[in-house]
Structure 1
C-alpha cells in the first residue's frame, strides 16, 4: 500500500510544483528527484503554514549551503511569532532514511540562524532573512522543526533521543523549539485535503454527560485524559480534518496546557476551554441516562476546536502517564444529522475566532493602573494606555502598560524578571510577578523613567548592531532587557521617584554604559556556558541570566576596562586595496576558482540586509556574478555585464540599493556556493601552499 501512496504523492508533487520549484541548480539526471524532495519540503511547510503552492515553493532554499535545512516560513501575525524549518527526505519505496548526521546538520543550521549568521546560508535563504530577523527580534519566537520523511516506519528511538537532546539547550525553561514528524501517512492526507482523512468512526465515553436537543442535537460531558490521548494516537491529524488551525504544537497555549496536566492535573478541567467535536451522527451505545456515564458511537468525527488541547494531552500523557492520567477535560459532541447546510462550517469558524481574554485584560482594571494612568496625565502630561486595543501613543507622548511592565522587569534588582519578560511577556501578568513589578501604588515617575531607560538602551544597541556579527550581534539583539538591567545598576536611581531628579543626566550616560555592559555580558556568557552556547538561552533562562547579570554588574562596578569584543564579532568596513588584491591574487595564482564559476552575494551585516535584501529580490541577477581568473576586476555582474573588483561591485550595489556610498570588504560578501567566501577560499589556498594566512605566494 505504501508504494501506491508514494506514487500518488509523487504525481501530486509533479502536478502541483513542476514549474514553481526551481531545480536547475542540479545536474539534469538529478532534477526529477530534486523536484520531489523540494516538493515534499513545500508540503511540510503547508502542513504548518497553510498557503498556496506558489507561496510554499518560494520557501524552498534546499541546495548548496542550506545547512541541513530545506525550507523556511515565518508567521508574524500571532502574539508570539512562529518560524517553521523543514528538512525533507524523499524515497521512491517509502523508506527514507534520517540518521544522526541529518540531525546534526539540521541543528547546526538552527544554531547559525539563532546566532544571526545568515551569511552562512545560500541566496535562496536570503530573501527570508528580514522576516526571520523580525521574528527573532521579538525575543520569544516559537520554532518548529518539521521532518518531512517519505517513510511509514517510525524513526529509531535513538534518533528521537538525539533530536530531543539537541533541542534541549533551546528549551531550558519553556519550549521554544519543538519538532514534528511529517511522514507518508500525514503527507498522503495533506495532498488530498479532507478527502485524504479517513472517515473517523469511533466510540467515546462521557462522564456526567448532558444532552442538548433544541434546535440541534449535542452531547457534553467529561472525558478522561487517557481516552483523549488514545483517540489522538489512533487517528493523529486525521482527527482535525475540519479544524482550520490544526494543532499548533509550540504555541504558548499548548505549552501551558501541557504544563497544567503535568503539574496540576486535578485542575485541568477547570483551566481548559475543552474540546468541540463535529460528528455526522452521535448515537448512544446501550442505555444512556443524563448525569451518568455513557458510551457514544461517533461517525465522521472531527475536532474543530481544541486541537491544541488534544495534542497537548497526548504529549503530556506520553511524558508522564502517572501524572497526566488524573486529568479530565470537558468535551462537546455536536451532531450534524439534522443541521442546515453550512452549520458545521459556522461552528468551526465561530469557535476558532473568538478573542480570548488575557491576564493583561484583568490587570487593566486594577485601581492601581487607573491611578497610574491619571498620574501620567496630571504629573507628567503623558498618556498611559492600559486597555488592549486602544491606540498606543508615540514615544514622545507616553507608553502602554505592556512597555511599562517590560521596563520594570528589566530594572528590577532580580534579573529573573528580565528573563521572564524576554521568554514570555504574558508571565508578567501573573499575580506574583505583577505585584513584584508594579507594587500596590506604582509611581508614575519611576515607571516613565524606566521606560525611557529601556528605550535609550535599545536605541544604542540598534546602533551597535549595525557593526556587529555572530554572537555579539545576537547579544545586542536578544539582550536588550539584560543590558538594561546591568545599566540600571550603574545609574544613580535612589531618587528615581523624585520629580526634581535630573533623569536626563542619567540617560546621557547610557550610550557608553551600554557598550561596556554588552562586552561584560558576552564575556560572562562565554565564560559561564561556553562560546558555543546559545545567547538566546542565556537571556531567557532565569538561572543563567542571574549569573550573567551578576558577573557583568560586578565587572562594571569594579571600574575595570570593559572586555574588547573579538575582531570576528565586528564587521569590517573598508577593505584596503592591498588586502583585496592579495585575496584575489592568491585565488588567481592558485586557479582556485574556475573561469565562468557563478558567485553569489550574501549580505554580511544588518545594514546590508536592511538596505539590500528587498532590492536584490526584485531582480535576482543583482545578487550574481561570474568569475574570471584576472588580477584586476575578476567579477562580471550579471545585472549589467560589466566587470568589477569584489569590493567595488558591492560598493556600487549598495549605492544603487540605498544611496549609501561606503567602502566594504567585498571578498567577505561574494561566495562560491558550497565552498565559501573569497576570503575563505584564499585562506584555504594559502594553507595548501604551506603559507601563513596573511602571507602571499611568490610571483610566478
Structure 2
C-alpha cells in the first residue's frame, strides 16, 4: 500500500490510518479501484474503512461483519456502510469522509444524499442499489418491518465533526419526518476523537476499577470465594456510569463499558426503565423494597473500614477489573434519574452483590452471568390475568361458542378454528373501534394494548365486557383481512408495498367501518355472506389507500412516519371511506384489479441461484470452486478441513440439482447439501439448523455463487442483449 501522504499528516491521523489499514485492508473489497492511481485507491480504502470502523463502534460488531456492510461505490445513494444491531431491531446508515490532514467535513449536499438513501430504504426501493446492498436486502427488510425499529443516520468524519446549522436542519427534519410511535430516526457524528479513542481501546483495553461504599447493612462471605452483599446508594451507581467531579480515577464514568461481561448492554429509556427512574425520584426510600438488586463481578475485592473493623460497619470496597453482569438497566436508570434530581437519588439504596473471581475455576464467572440473566420478569400483559373480565370472557367463549379463549402468558394459543388468544382478540377489537388512533397505537407496539386508565387501550376495549360472539366475529374478519393483505403484498414492490406493510392495521380498521358493527349481530347465514365479501373490501380499501397517501401527502412523504401519525391516519381514513362511499373510488372488481396491477413490480423476481447460473451457463463446467466457511465454521471444523485439502475444493457441473462435484469423494451435491454433508462428516454437533450453501461456495476471483447470480440478474434486468431463456 502506498505510504505517501505522511508529510503534513497529524500524528493522531497517522495512528488512525495505520490502525484502519491493519484492520480492514484485506477485508474490504476494492475491486472497483484496481486500475486507479495508488493514492486514489488508498483514499477510497480509508474512507470505506472509516465507515466500517464507525459500524464497529456503534453496532458492536466484529471486523468481518463491519466490512461486509460496506456498500460504498456506484449506486450507493449516499450510504457507504450498513450495520445491524445484534437484536435485529436497529439499523445504522453510515456516510464516511477521509482527509489525510484530519479536515474532513460534511456539507448540505452530503446530508441530502444521505437523506435520499434513507427515503429509498423507507420506500423499500432497494432494487436500484448496487450488488453489495442486495446481499443485505433481506436483513434490511427484516429491520424495517419491525414496528419499533430504530434507524441511525451516521456521519463518520476524519475531522472535528462540526456540522453547519443548515446541515443539522436537514438531518433533524429527516429524523422528525420518519419517526413516530416506536419507529425512530436519529443522527449522530463519529469524529476523529472517537476513532482515536476506539483504536486505543482496541490496542490497550483498560480494566475498570470501581469503588462502592456500604454505610448501612452488609455482610461478607469468604469461602469458597469472596463475596460481599450490601446496600449501595443509587448515586454511587450513577457515578459508575457517568462519573462525577474531576478527581480520582474511581470517579470517572465508564458508560456502557460497565457491562462488558453482561449478556446485554443497557436498552435505553424503555418503558420498564422509565418506571425505575420514576420510582427513584418519587419514592427513593422505598426503592430498595421494590427492586431485586444488581450483581457485580470483579477480579479482586479490597476492603477499607471507616472506623471499626467489623461486619455491618461502614466500609469502602475497591473492585478491580469490575463489570456489572446483571442490572445494566438499573445502573443506567440511576444515572438518568441522577441527571434529573441528584438529591432524591442519593436517598435511594440498591442491594448489590459483589463476587470476586480470585481463585475461582475457569467458567465460574460466565456461569454467574448466565444464571443471573435467565430469570423471569413481569410484563404489562401479565397483570390482565387477574382481571375478572378476562375470566368471564373465557367462560362466555366456552358456553356460547364451545371455543377456547386464552389470556395468560405462557399458555399455548388454540388452533385457529378452535378459538383465539387475548392478543389476537385485542388486535381485532382495536381495529374494529371507530377511533382509528387505536389501530395506529397498536401498530407502534402491542404493549399499547394493555394500558389501563382513562384513554388506555385496554380500558377502551375491555372496560365494558364484549361478548364472545362479538370478539370471535371480529377475529374472523381480522384474520381474513390479514390473509388477503399477505396475498396482495406478494404482487407489490417499492412504495405500494411499503403502504401495504405499514398500513395493514389501518386497512383492517377501514374494512371494519365498511362492514359496520351491526353486521356482527346478523344470523349465521347472513354473517357468512359478510365474511365472503371481506376480500373484495380489502382490495378496494388498499387500492384507494395507496393512491390517497400520495394525493394527501405527496409521493415524497415518508410512508413509515405517515402511518405512525394519528392525525395523518385519521385524514387517510376519512378520505378513503368518503371516496368509497361516494362512488368515486374503483367501483368494479375489474377496475380495482387494474389499478392494483399498476402498482405491481415490473421486473421478474430473481430465480433461485443455481437454476439461474445453470440456465444461463454463467459458470463453465469444471470451473474450480472453493469452500468459504464463516469464522464460526472455521473455528469449529477448520482442523478437519485442513486434514485433507481436497475437502475445501470442488468443481462446477451445469446441472440444476447437483451442480457441485466434491473433490474429497468424487460425488455430486447441491451447494446446501454439500455444506450440510461437510458439517456432518466433521461431526460438528453444534451446527446451525439454517444452511446457505450458495453463499458458502465461491469461484476464486469472482465471488460466491450468490454474488455471481446477482451480477448476472442485474445484467438481465438491465436488458444488455442477453438472449431470453426459459426460467420457469
Higher relative contact order structure (alpha carbons within 8 Å, sequence separation ≥ 6): 1
> Residues 185-584 of structure 1 correspond to what in structure 2 (within 5 A)?
187=195, 196-201=204-209, 209-214=216-221, 216-224=227-235, 227=239, 230-231=242-243, 234-249=253-268, 254=270, 257-258=273-274, 261=277, 265-266=281-282, 269=287, 276-279=295-298, 280-281=300-301, 283=303, 286=306, 299-308=320-329, 330=350, 332=352, 334=354, 336=356, 340-341=360-361, 342-364=363-385, 366-373=387-394, 375-376=396-397, 379-380=400-401, 382-393=403-414, 395-431=416-452, 432-439=456-463, 441-496=465-520, 500=524, 502-522=526-546, 524-526=548-550, 528-562=552-586, 570-571=599-600, 573=602
Cα distance in 1 for partners of 2:23, 2:441 equals 44
**3-state SS in 1 of match to 2:221:** coil
**Conservation of the 8 A alpha-carbon contact between 1:281 and 1:337:** no
**Conservation of the 8 A alpha-carbon contact between 1:170 and 1:176:** yes
Structure 2 residue 58 is the aligned partner of structure 1 residue 37: no
Aligned equivalent of 1:22:
29
**3-state SS in 1 of match to 2:178:** coil
Aligned equivalent of 1:170:
178
* Alpha-carbon offset, residue 169 of structure 1: 2.3
Deviations 1:285-327 (A, max 9, x none): 8469999998765543434344455556667877x77999899
Out of 144, 148, 158, the residue aligned to residue 136 of structure 1 is 144
Cα distance in 1 for partners of 2:77, 2:715 equals 27
Higher mean C-alpha displacement, 46-55 vs 405-414: 46-55
**3-state SS in 2 of match to 1:494:** helix
**Conservation of the 8 A alpha-carbon contact between 2:92 and 2:153:** yes
Deviations 1:627-674 (A, max 9, x none): xxxxxxxx976xxxxxx982985974xx53xx3xxxxxxxxxxxxxxx
Distance 1:337 1:476, change over 3 A: closer
Deviations 1:211-239 (A, max 9, x none): 23135114433324974663298434444
* Alpha-carbon offset, residue 620 of structure 1: 2.2
**Conservation of the 8 A alpha-carbon contact between 1:267 and 1:327:** no
Gaps of 5+ in 1: 576-612, 627-634, 638-643, 660-700
TM (normalized to structure 1)? 0.71
**Conservation of the 8 A alpha-carbon contact between 2:59 and 2:83:** yes
* Alpha-carbon offset, residue 536 of structure 1: 1.7
Deviations 1:410-436 (A, max 9, x none): 111211111111101112122232232
Aligned equivalent of 1:83:
91
Out of 705, 711, 720, the residue aligned to residue 624 of structure 1 is 711
Cα distance in 1 for partners of 2:563, 2:347 equals 33
> Residues 55-134 of structure 1 correspond to what in structure 2 (within 5 A)?
55-74=65-84, 81-134=89-142
**Conservation of the 8 A alpha-carbon contact between 1:265 and 1:323:** no
Cα distance in 1 for partners of 2:577, 2:567 equals 16
**Conservation of the 8 A alpha-carbon contact between 1:486 and 1:517:** yes
**3-state SS in 2 of match to 1:486:** helix
* Alpha-carbon offset, residue 483 of structure 1: 0.8
**Conservation of the 8 A alpha-carbon contact between 2:280 and 2:334:** no
Deviations 1:330-351 (A, max 9, x none): 4736252756245443443333
Compute the RMSD of aligned alpha carbons.
Answer: 4.5
Cα distance in 1 for partners of 2:465, 2:69 equals 50
Cα distance in 2 for partners of 1:56, 1:314 equals 30
Cα distance in 2 for partners of 1:243, 1:527 equals 50
Deviations 1:166-219 (A, max 9, x none): 31223344452234544556556656778644333455677x754231351144
Cα distance in 1 for partners of 2:278, 2:724 equals 57
Distance 1:569 1:88, change over 3 A: farther
* Alpha-carbon offset, residue 97 of structure 1: 3.0
* Alpha-carbon offset, residue 77 of structure 1: 5.4
Cα distance in 1 for partners of 2:146, 2:572 equals 21
Gaps of 5+ in 2: 1-8, 245-251, 605-692, 696-702
* Alpha-carbon offset, residue 267 of structure 1: 5.9
**3-state SS in 2 of match to 1:414:** coil
Cα distance in 2 for partners of 1:397, 1:326 equals 55
Distance 1:267 1:254, change over 3 A: farther
Cα distance in 1 for partners of 2:187, 2:307 equals 43
Distance 1:524 1:446, change over 3 A: same
**Conservation of the 8 A alpha-carbon contact between 1:10 and 1:36:** yes
**Conservation of the 8 A alpha-carbon contact between 2:280 and 2:337:** no
Aligned equivalent of 1:591:
none
Distance 1:179 1:573, change over 3 A: closer
Distance 1:476 1:574, change over 3 A: closer
Aligned length: 596
**Conservation of the 8 A alpha-carbon contact between 2:540 and 2:586:** yes
